[in-house]
Amino acid sequence: MSSQSVNQVIDYMSNQYQRIFPNGPSPVVTVSAAVAASTLAWSLARPSKKRPANAPPLVPHYIPYIGNGLELQRDPAAFIKRCKEQYGPVFEIMAFGRKQVVLTGEYILECFRAGDSYLDFNAGVEDSLPLSRILALSYDKQERKTGPSYDNSKSPLVRAIRNNFKTHQLDKYQERIEYAVNRGLDLDITFEQGKDTTVLDMSSVQRMIGRISALIFAGDEIGENEELIEAMATFAQSIISSAIAYMVFPIYVADTIVKRYLSIGPHIEIIMRYMTPVLSKIQKKEEEEGQQLQPTFFMHNVMHTPNPDGTMQTAQEAAFTLQDVTFASIHTTSTFSILALHTLSDRPDLQVKIRQELEKAKQQLGEITPGNIKNIPIMDSFFREILRINSDYIGIHHKALQDTMLSNGIVIPKGSSVGLAANDAHTDPGIQELGPNNIPLIEVDPERFITRKTKKSTAIGLDMLAFGVGYHACPGRYLASQEITYVIAKILEQYDISPITSNGMRAPNRLALGIMQLVPAQGVKLTKRK
- Own/partner contacts of 376-379, CB < 8 Å, gap of 24 or more, are 376/485, 376/489, 377/450, 378/353, 378/354, 378/446, 378/447, 378/450, 379/354, 379/485, 379/488, 379/489
Helix (H, G, I), strand (E, B) or coil at 219: coil
Rounded CA gap, 212 and 332, in Å? 14
- List, in order, residues 6 or more apart from 257 with CB less than 8 Å away: 25, 28, 29, 32, 245, 249
Strands 98-103 vs 417-420: parallel, antiparallel or unpaired: parallel
CB 484 within 8 A of CB 343: no
Instruction: pLDDT tens for the chain, 530 residues: list them.
Output: 444 444 444 455 555 555 545 555 554 444 444 445 445 544 544 445 678 889 999 999 988 888 999 999 999 999 999 999 999 999 999 998 889 999 999 999 999 999 999 999 989 988 888 888 898 899 888 766 665 556 666 788 889 999 999 988 999 999 999 999 999 999 999 999 999 999 999 999 999 999 999 999 999 999 999 999 999 999 988 888 888 888 878 888 889 989 888 899 999 999 999 999 999 999 999 999 999 999 999 999 999 999 888 888 999 999 999 999 999 899 999 999 999 999 999 999 999 999 999 999 999 988 999 999 988 999 999 999 999 999 999 999 999 999 999 999 999 999 999 999 999 999 999 999 999 999 999 999 999 999 888 899 999 999 999 999 988 899 999 999 999 999 999 999 999 999 999 999 999 999 988 899 999 999 999 999 98
Residue 284 Cα distances to 278, 292, 293, 317, angstroms = 10, 10, 11, 15
DSSP 345-378: HT-HHHHHHHHHHHHHHHHHHSS--TTTGGG-HH
The answer to the question of residue 19 being in a domain is no
The answer to the question of residue 420 being in a domain is yes
Residue 139 Cα distances to 9, 128, 133, angstroms = 32, 20, 10
The answer to the question of residue 330 being in a domain is yes
The answer to the question of residue 480 being in a domain is yes
> How many whole angstroms from its chain centre is CA 183?
24
**Confidence at residue 7, expressed as pLDDT on a 0 to 100 scale:** 46
CB 177 within 8 A of CB 482: yes
Instruction: Provide the residue type at 333 as one letter.
Output: T
- List, in order, residues 6 or more apart from 453 with CB less than 8 Å away: none
499: phi then psi, degrees, rounded to nearest 5: -80, 160
Rounded CA gap, 107 and 431, in Å? 12
474 is in an annotated binding site: yes
**Confidence at residue 15, expressed as pLDDT on a 0 to 100 scale:** 57
Residue 147 Cα distances to 62, 121, 151, angstroms = 41, 17, 8
Q: 416: which DSSP letter?
A: -
Q: Which domain holds residue 104?
A: 51-528
**Confidence at residue 252, expressed as pLDDT on a 0 to 100 scale:** 85
Rounded CA gap, 386 and 384, in Å? 5
Q: Write the burial class of residue 484 (CB in 10 Å: 0-12 exposed, 13-18 middle, 19+ buried).
A: buried
The answer to the question of residue 427 being in a domain is yes
DSSP 455-516: --TT--BTTB-TT-SGGGS-TTHHHHHHHHHHHHHHHHHHEEEEE-STTSSPPPPEEETTTE
The answer to the question of residue 461 being in a domain is yes
The answer to the question of residue 291 being in a domain is yes
Global pTM?
0.90
What does the angle CA 293 – CA 298 – CA 301 come to, to the nearest 5 degrees? 45
**Confidence at residue 151, expressed as pLDDT on a 0 to 100 scale:** 64
CB 105 within 8 A of CB 428: yes
CB 321 within 8 A of CB 244: no
**Confidence at residue 250, expressed as pLDDT on a 0 to 100 scale:** 80
Closest listed residue to residue 83, CA positions, set 57, 53, 64:
57
User: Residue 286: enclosing H or E segment and its boundaries?
Assistant: helix 265-289
Q: 169: which DSSP letter?
A: G
> Residue 269 maps to which CATH number?
1.10.630.10
The answer to the question of residue 378 being in a domain is yes
Segments of 208-250 assigned E as strands = none
DSSP 258-269: HHHHS--HHHHH
Query: Taking the chain, what is the end-to-end CA distance rounded to the nearest angstrom?
Result: 63
Instruction: Count CB neighbours of 415 within 10 A.
Output: 11
What does the angle CA 500 – CA 503 – CA 507 come to, to the nearest 5 degrees? 50
- List, in order, residues 6 or more apart from 286 with CB less than 8 Å away: 292, 293
Closest listed residue to residue 205, CA positions, set 487, 501, 503, 489:
487
**Confidence at residue 144, expressed as pLDDT on a 0 to 100 scale:** 65
**Confidence at residue 48, expressed as pLDDT on a 0 to 100 scale:** 58
- List, in order, residues 6 or more apart from 92 with CB less than 8 Å away: 55, 56, 57, 58, 59, 99, 100, 101, 102, 416
**Confidence at residue 6, expressed as pLDDT on a 0 to 100 scale:** 41
Total domains in the chain come to 1
Rounded CA gap, 202 and 198, in Å? 13
Rounded CA gap, 490 and 62, in Å? 51
Helix (H, G, I), strand (E, B) or coil at 198: strand
